[in-house]
Amino acid sequence: MIDNYLWEELAVFAQSQTLVKTADKLHVTQPTLTRGMKKLEADLGVQLFNRHPNRISLTETGKLAAKEAAAILAANQYAVDKIQNFAQSQRVIQVGATIPGPLVMLKRFRSQLPESIRLDTHLQTQSIPDLLNNRELTLVLSNQEILTAEVDSRYVGVESLSVNLNQFMYQANQPDVTFSDLTGLSFLVLADIGPWIMLIEHHIPNAKFLYQQQPDSFSEITRYSDFPFFSTNLSKFSPEFKHRITQDDSRVEVPISDSAAHMVVYANYLKSQAAVVTPIIEQMVQKWPNNPD
Protein backbone atom coordinates (compact mmCIF):
# COMPACT_ATOMS: atom_id res chain seq x y z
CA MET A 1 0.00 0.00 0.00
CA ILE A 2 1.44 3.36 -1.07
CA ASP A 3 1.00 6.13 1.51
CA ASN A 4 -1.18 8.99 0.30
CA TYR A 5 1.42 11.64 1.11
CA LEU A 6 3.84 10.03 -1.39
CA TRP A 7 1.29 10.32 -4.19
CA GLU A 8 0.74 13.95 -3.20
CA GLU A 9 4.46 14.71 -3.31
CA LEU A 10 4.74 13.20 -6.78
CA ALA A 11 1.66 15.03 -8.12
CA VAL A 12 2.83 18.38 -6.77
CA PHE A 13 6.35 17.86 -8.14
CA ALA A 14 4.87 17.18 -11.59
CA GLN A 15 3.13 20.55 -11.40
CA SER A 16 5.97 22.53 -9.79
CA GLN A 17 8.91 20.89 -11.61
CA THR A 18 11.45 21.75 -8.88
CA LEU A 19 12.21 20.45 -5.40
CA VAL A 20 12.25 23.98 -3.97
CA LYS A 21 8.76 24.87 -5.20
CA THR A 22 7.38 21.46 -4.28
CA ALA A 23 8.78 21.58 -0.75
CA ASP A 24 7.49 25.11 -0.31
CA LYS A 25 3.99 24.20 -1.51
CA LEU A 26 3.80 21.14 0.74
CA HIS A 27 5.43 22.93 3.71
CA VAL A 28 8.14 20.30 4.13
CA THR A 29 11.93 20.44 3.96
CA GLN A 30 13.81 19.37 0.82
CA PRO A 31 15.54 16.45 2.62
CA THR A 32 12.12 15.18 3.74
CA LEU A 33 10.83 15.49 0.19
CA THR A 34 13.87 13.69 -1.23
CA ARG A 35 13.43 10.81 1.21
CA GLY A 36 9.76 10.55 0.21
CA MET A 37 10.60 10.37 -3.49
CA LYS A 38 13.18 7.64 -2.91
CA LYS A 39 10.67 5.70 -0.79
CA LEU A 40 8.05 5.95 -3.54
CA GLU A 41 10.51 4.57 -6.09
CA ALA A 42 11.40 1.74 -3.71
CA ASP A 43 7.75 0.91 -2.98
CA LEU A 44 6.92 0.83 -6.69
CA GLY A 45 10.13 -0.85 -7.71
CA VAL A 46 10.68 1.53 -10.65
CA GLN A 47 12.75 4.63 -11.44
CA LEU A 48 10.60 7.74 -11.42
CA PHE A 49 13.27 10.45 -11.55
CA ASN A 50 16.27 11.40 -13.63
CA ARG A 51 18.83 12.80 -11.20
CA HIS A 52 21.20 15.52 -12.38
CA PRO A 53 23.83 17.46 -10.37
CA ASN A 54 21.56 20.45 -9.69
CA ARG A 55 18.07 19.20 -10.45
CA ILE A 56 15.81 16.17 -10.95
CA SER A 57 13.19 15.49 -13.59
CA LEU A 58 10.55 12.85 -14.20
CA THR A 59 11.28 9.82 -16.35
CA GLU A 60 8.57 8.71 -18.77
CA THR A 61 7.50 6.21 -16.13
CA GLY A 62 7.51 9.04 -13.61
CA LYS A 63 5.21 11.14 -15.81
CA LEU A 64 2.73 8.26 -16.02
CA ALA A 65 2.98 7.73 -12.26
CA ALA A 66 2.31 11.45 -11.69
CA LYS A 67 -0.90 11.28 -13.74
CA GLU A 68 -2.00 8.25 -11.76
CA ALA A 69 -1.11 10.03 -8.52
CA ALA A 70 -3.34 12.97 -9.45
CA ALA A 71 -6.18 10.56 -10.26
CA ILE A 72 -5.72 8.72 -6.96
CA LEU A 73 -5.79 11.97 -4.99
CA ALA A 74 -8.92 13.14 -6.83
CA ALA A 75 -10.65 9.81 -6.21
CA ASN A 76 -9.68 9.94 -2.56
CA GLN A 77 -11.08 13.46 -2.17
CA TYR A 78 -14.24 12.43 -4.01
CA ALA A 79 -14.74 9.56 -1.57
CA VAL A 80 -14.15 11.81 1.44
CA ASP A 81 -16.63 14.40 0.14
CA LYS A 82 -19.25 11.77 -0.65
CA ILE A 83 -18.98 10.19 2.80
CA GLN A 84 -19.16 13.55 4.56
CA ASN A 85 -22.09 14.68 2.39
CA PHE A 86 -23.89 11.42 3.11
CA ALA A 87 -23.41 11.87 6.84
CA GLN A 88 -24.76 15.42 6.61
CA SER A 89 -27.72 14.28 4.50
CA GLN A 90 -28.82 12.07 7.40
CA ARG A 91 -29.24 15.19 9.52
CA VAL A 92 -30.00 17.97 7.04
CA ILE A 93 -32.23 18.24 3.95
CA GLN A 94 -30.24 20.31 1.46
CA VAL A 95 -32.47 22.03 -1.12
CA GLY A 96 -31.15 23.78 -4.22
CA ALA A 97 -32.42 24.93 -7.60
CA THR A 98 -31.32 25.78 -11.12
CA ILE A 99 -33.93 28.56 -11.38
CA PRO A 100 -34.56 31.31 -8.82
CA GLY A 101 -38.37 31.34 -8.56
CA PRO A 102 -38.81 28.18 -6.46
CA LEU A 103 -36.13 29.38 -4.03
CA VAL A 104 -37.94 32.72 -3.66
CA MET A 105 -41.10 30.79 -2.82
CA LEU A 106 -39.39 28.50 -0.31
CA LYS A 107 -37.71 31.44 1.44
CA ARG A 108 -41.14 33.07 1.80
CA PHE A 109 -42.48 29.98 3.62
CA ARG A 110 -39.24 29.05 5.38
CA SER A 111 -40.82 29.27 8.82
CA GLN A 112 -43.39 26.62 7.83
CA LEU A 113 -40.75 24.10 6.73
CA PRO A 114 -38.88 21.62 8.94
CA GLU A 115 -35.90 23.04 10.82
CA SER A 116 -33.67 20.42 9.18
CA ILE A 117 -34.02 22.11 5.77
CA ARG A 118 -31.14 24.19 4.41
CA LEU A 119 -31.66 26.31 1.29
CA ASP A 120 -28.71 26.76 -1.04
CA THR A 121 -29.42 30.19 -2.52
CA HIS A 122 -26.80 29.90 -5.28
CA LEU A 123 -28.22 28.59 -8.55
CA GLN A 124 -26.87 25.16 -9.44
CA THR A 125 -25.00 24.62 -12.71
CA GLN A 126 -23.65 21.11 -12.09
CA SER A 127 -25.24 17.89 -13.27
CA ILE A 128 -28.34 17.29 -11.16
CA PRO A 129 -27.80 13.50 -10.87
CA ASP A 130 -24.23 14.19 -9.69
CA LEU A 131 -25.44 16.68 -7.06
CA LEU A 132 -27.92 14.10 -5.77
CA ASN A 133 -25.72 11.01 -5.99
CA ASN A 134 -22.83 12.82 -4.29
CA ARG A 135 -25.27 13.87 -1.53
CA GLU A 136 -24.43 17.53 -2.06
CA LEU A 137 -28.16 18.21 -2.30
CA THR A 138 -31.22 16.22 -1.27
CA LEU A 139 -33.72 18.02 -3.51
CA VAL A 140 -33.11 20.03 -6.69
CA LEU A 141 -35.85 22.20 -8.21
CA SER A 142 -35.35 22.60 -11.93
CA ASN A 143 -36.96 22.86 -15.36
CA GLN A 144 -35.49 19.40 -16.08
CA GLU A 145 -37.41 16.17 -15.61
CA ILE A 146 -34.89 13.45 -14.77
CA LEU A 147 -35.93 9.82 -14.62
CA THR A 148 -33.16 7.27 -14.07
CA ALA A 149 -32.65 4.12 -12.04
CA GLU A 150 -31.61 6.28 -9.05
CA VAL A 151 -33.28 9.66 -9.65
CA ASP A 152 -36.98 10.51 -9.80
CA SER A 153 -38.80 13.74 -10.69
CA ARG A 154 -42.15 15.10 -9.64
CA TYR A 155 -44.12 17.91 -11.25
CA VAL A 156 -44.41 20.94 -8.98
CA GLY A 157 -45.97 23.68 -11.10
CA VAL A 158 -45.52 26.09 -13.98
CA GLU A 159 -43.56 29.32 -13.68
CA SER A 160 -45.00 31.86 -16.11
CA LEU A 161 -43.15 34.90 -17.41
CA SER A 162 -44.58 38.43 -17.52
CA VAL A 163 -43.10 41.76 -18.55
CA ASN A 164 -43.54 44.98 -16.59
CA LEU A 165 -44.04 47.84 -19.06
CA ASN A 166 -44.57 51.58 -18.73
CA GLN A 167 -48.31 52.13 -18.61
CA PHE A 168 -48.19 54.52 -21.58
CA MET A 169 -46.69 51.94 -23.95
CA TYR A 170 -49.26 50.46 -26.32
CA GLN A 171 -48.21 46.91 -25.32
CA ALA A 172 -49.11 47.71 -21.70
CA ASN A 173 -52.74 48.15 -22.68
CA GLN A 174 -53.05 44.61 -24.06
CA PRO A 175 -54.33 41.64 -22.01
CA ASP A 176 -51.10 39.83 -22.92
CA VAL A 177 -48.14 40.16 -25.28
CA THR A 178 -45.94 37.85 -27.32
CA PHE A 179 -42.15 37.86 -27.46
CA SER A 180 -42.32 39.41 -30.92
CA ASP A 181 -44.34 42.34 -29.49
CA LEU A 182 -41.24 43.16 -27.41
CA THR A 183 -38.87 43.34 -30.40
CA GLY A 184 -36.14 45.97 -30.08
CA LEU A 185 -36.87 47.02 -26.50
CA SER A 186 -34.26 47.40 -23.76
CA PHE A 187 -34.81 45.48 -20.53
CA LEU A 188 -33.39 45.57 -17.03
CA VAL A 189 -32.56 41.98 -16.07
CA LEU A 190 -31.16 40.40 -12.93
CA ALA A 191 -28.13 38.39 -14.04
CA ASP A 192 -28.70 35.34 -11.82
CA ILE A 193 -31.87 33.89 -13.35
CA GLY A 194 -30.56 30.61 -14.76
CA PRO A 195 -32.17 29.27 -17.97
CA TRP A 196 -34.49 32.28 -18.27
CA ILE A 197 -31.54 34.22 -19.71
CA MET A 198 -31.15 31.98 -22.75
CA LEU A 199 -34.92 31.94 -23.21
CA ILE A 200 -35.43 35.71 -23.40
CA GLU A 201 -32.29 36.25 -25.47
CA HIS A 202 -33.43 33.61 -27.96
CA HIS A 203 -37.07 34.66 -28.27
CA ILE A 204 -36.99 38.47 -28.23
CA PRO A 205 -35.52 39.81 -31.50
CA ASN A 206 -33.07 42.74 -31.48
CA ALA A 207 -33.56 43.38 -27.77
CA LYS A 208 -30.98 44.83 -25.40
CA PHE A 209 -30.58 43.32 -21.96
CA LEU A 210 -29.04 45.47 -19.24
CA TYR A 211 -27.89 42.83 -16.77
CA GLN A 212 -27.52 43.77 -13.13
CA GLN A 213 -25.48 41.58 -10.77
CA GLN A 214 -26.84 43.03 -7.53
CA PRO A 215 -30.56 43.08 -6.59
CA ASP A 216 -30.06 46.44 -4.85
CA SER A 217 -28.69 48.00 -8.03
CA PHE A 218 -31.51 46.45 -10.03
CA SER A 219 -34.12 47.93 -7.67
CA GLU A 220 -32.46 51.35 -7.68
CA ILE A 221 -32.29 51.58 -11.48
CA THR A 222 -35.85 50.29 -11.75
CA ARG A 223 -37.03 53.00 -9.42
CA TYR A 224 -35.46 55.86 -11.37
CA SER A 225 -36.07 54.62 -14.92
CA ASP A 226 -38.82 53.33 -17.17
CA PHE A 227 -36.94 50.31 -18.49
CA PRO A 228 -39.17 47.23 -18.73
CA PHE A 229 -38.27 44.27 -16.51
CA PHE A 230 -39.45 40.69 -16.20
CA SER A 231 -41.28 38.92 -13.40
CA THR A 232 -43.07 35.60 -12.94
CA ASN A 233 -46.01 34.28 -10.98
CA LEU A 234 -43.51 33.42 -8.23
CA SER A 235 -42.15 36.97 -7.94
CA LYS A 236 -45.00 37.92 -5.61
CA PHE A 237 -43.35 35.81 -2.91
CA SER A 238 -40.35 38.18 -2.90
CA PRO A 239 -40.52 41.12 -0.43
CA GLU A 240 -38.14 43.04 -2.70
CA PHE A 241 -40.49 42.64 -5.66
CA LYS A 242 -43.51 43.78 -3.64
CA HIS A 243 -41.57 46.83 -2.48
CA ARG A 244 -40.43 47.56 -6.02
CA ILE A 245 -43.93 47.62 -7.55
CA THR A 246 -45.41 49.82 -4.79
CA GLN A 247 -42.89 52.67 -5.15
CA ASP A 248 -45.12 54.79 -7.39
CA ASP A 249 -44.15 52.52 -10.25
CA SER A 250 -45.75 53.47 -13.55
CA ARG A 251 -45.34 49.99 -15.00
CA VAL A 252 -48.05 47.47 -15.73
CA GLU A 253 -47.45 43.73 -15.44
CA VAL A 254 -48.47 42.01 -18.70
CA PRO A 255 -48.37 38.22 -19.15
CA ILE A 256 -46.37 36.79 -22.07
CA SER A 257 -48.55 34.33 -23.97
CA ASP A 258 -45.94 32.32 -25.90
CA SER A 259 -45.69 28.70 -24.79
CA ALA A 260 -41.95 29.16 -24.22
CA ALA A 261 -42.75 31.72 -21.51
CA HIS A 262 -44.25 28.96 -19.35
CA MET A 263 -41.54 26.87 -17.68
CA VAL A 264 -42.51 23.56 -16.08
CA VAL A 265 -40.76 23.07 -12.74
CA TYR A 266 -39.85 19.65 -11.37
CA ALA A 267 -38.55 18.43 -8.03
CA ASN A 268 -35.61 16.04 -8.55
CA TYR A 269 -34.47 13.65 -5.83
CA LEU A 270 -32.99 10.22 -5.20
CA LYS A 271 -35.65 7.52 -5.05
CA SER A 272 -34.14 6.44 -1.75
CA GLN A 273 -34.91 9.93 -0.37
CA ALA A 274 -38.53 10.07 -1.56
CA ALA A 275 -40.02 9.83 1.93
CA VAL A 276 -37.82 12.68 3.16
CA VAL A 277 -38.61 15.17 0.38
CA THR A 278 -42.28 14.36 -0.31
CA PRO A 279 -43.68 16.64 2.47
CA ILE A 280 -41.69 19.58 1.07
CA ILE A 281 -42.84 18.93 -2.49
CA GLU A 282 -46.47 18.61 -1.43
CA GLN A 283 -46.31 21.95 0.38
CA MET A 284 -44.89 23.60 -2.73
CA VAL A 285 -47.59 22.09 -4.94
CA GLN A 286 -50.30 23.37 -2.58
CA LYS A 287 -48.89 26.88 -2.42
CA TRP A 288 -47.90 27.17 -6.10
CA PRO A 289 -49.91 29.96 -7.81
CA ASN A 290 -52.63 28.78 -10.23
CA ASN A 291 -52.10 25.08 -9.52
CA PRO A 292 -55.45 23.22 -9.64
CA ASP A 293 -56.73 22.09 -6.26
pLDDT tens per residue, range 27-54: 888 888 888 889 888 889 999 988 888 8
pLDDT band at 110 (very low <50, low <70, confident <90, very high): confident
Task: Quote the percentage of the chain above a pLDDT of 70.
Answer: 95
Q: Is the pLDDT of residue 293 over 60?
A: no
pTM: 0.69
Question: In the chain, where does the domain assigned CATH 3.40.190.10 lie?
Answer: 91-156+263-287, 158-259
Q: What is the mean pLDDT of residues 172-181?
A: 95
Q: What is the mean pLDDT of the chain?
A: 89
HSE, side-chain direction, 13 A CA sphere, residue 94: 19
Mean pLDDT of 124-144: 94
Q: Which of 1-15, 155-169, 218-232 has the highest mean pLDDT?
A: 155-169
CATH class for domain 91-156+263-287? alpha beta
pLDDT in tens, 206-232: 999 999 998 888 888 888 888 999 999
User: Taking a C-beta distance cutoff of 8 angstroms, is the pair 22, 9 a contact?
Assistant: yes
Average pLDDT (55-77) is 90
Q: Which CATH architecture has domain 4-88?
A: Orthogonal Bundle (1.10)
Alpha-carbon gap, residue 252 to 242, rounded angstroms: 13
Q: What is the mean pLDDT of residues 84-101?
A: 80
Query: How high is the pLDDT of residue 238?
Result: 86
What average pLDDT does range 271-276 have in this prediction? 90
Give the span between the Cα atoms of 194 and 227, in whole angstroms: 21
Q: How crowded is residue 39: how many other Cβ atoms within 10 Å of its Cβ? A: 15
Res. 267 pLDDT band, cuts 50 70 90: very high
What is the per-residue pLDDT for 242?
62
Residues β-bridged to residue 262:
160
pLDDT at residue 33 in the model: 86
Beta bridge partners of 188: 210, 229
User: In this model, does residue 83 exceed pLDDT 80?
Assistant: no
Q: What's the pLDDT score for residue 87? A: 65
Least confidently predicted of 29-38, 110-119, 171-180, 191-200: 110-119
pLDDT at 122 over 70: yes
Multiple choice CATH, 158-259, 1.10.760.10, 3.40.50.2000, 3.40.190.10, 3.40.50.460: 3.40.190.10
